[in-house]
Structure 1
Amino acid sequence: MRARLLIQRGAPGEAPREEEFALEFEPGESVLDGLRRLRVEQDATLAFRYACLNANACKECMMLLDGRVIYACTARLEAREMRLAPLGNKALLRDLATEIAPPDERLG
């Protein structure tokens, strides 16, 4: 099976651009599994966050999938076009990575 990932790329101050990646996957693989493999096999510069201590608890891998907020660790890859973008209401770091916790809640 093959997913077509359309990923919004860019950094603060840059015009966002969309890049397309084709990704083979097995049924049940998460979007996060795919992104991690994509970074190893196709583009080491792709930025996204994750800290898999407990699924759906850390909130590090939150992003938009087709305009809806998801956890990349629990959303599943599908054999279709899947559009990924950073959270729009958080400060962009780069690509899909945003600042999750407000500055006053981050550990120093």
Structure 2
Amino acid sequence: MLEAILLIRRGTAGEPPRHEAFTLAFEPGESVLDGLRRLREGADPSLAFRYACLNANACKECMMLLDGRVIYACTARLEPRRMQLDPLPNKPLLRDLATAIAPPDERLPSD
């Protein structure tokens, strides 16, 4: 089995950015999203990221940065190396890798 080291941006808006390292065993062909889901299920249930998977590569909810490049976590593949994951820089950060998707004028009121 191969191993990836995922350096995942943690925290909320207003906090200094920090990265937490997770070592993840994987089979060739597994996606970054597969790895994140396994990490949340087995290692850290507080890990925040978005995905919908209604139609491959159409929902855009799992977009994030991988080593500084915008990717879909559902189509990017895990590799046996250090892989840095960060939230999209042009969207408001909610927590960890999760950003606000809808513009403020399209969101439901929160009260």
TM-score past 0.5 threshold: yes
Q: Which runs of 5+ in 1 are unaligned?
A: none
**What TM-score results when the alignment is normalised by the length of structure 2?**
0.93
> CA offsets per residue over residues 15-67 of structure 1, 9 Å max, x none?
11110000000110000000000011111110000001011100100000000
**What is the CA–CA distance in structure 1 between the aligned matches of 2:82 and 2:31, rounded to whole Å?**
15
- Structure 2's unaligned 5+ residue stretches are none
Alpha-carbon distance in 2 for matches of 1:107, 1:45? 24
Matched with 2:11 is: 10
Task: Identify the residue that residue 75 of structure 2 maps to in structure 1.
Answer: 74
The size of the alignment, in residue pairs, is 108
**Aligned residue identity for 1:5:** L
Residue in 2 that maps onto 1:21: 22
Q: Measure how far apart 1:13 and its partner are.
A: 1.3
Percent of counterpart pairs with the same letter? 78
Q: Match of 1:60?
A: 61
Q: CA RMSD in A?
A: 1.1
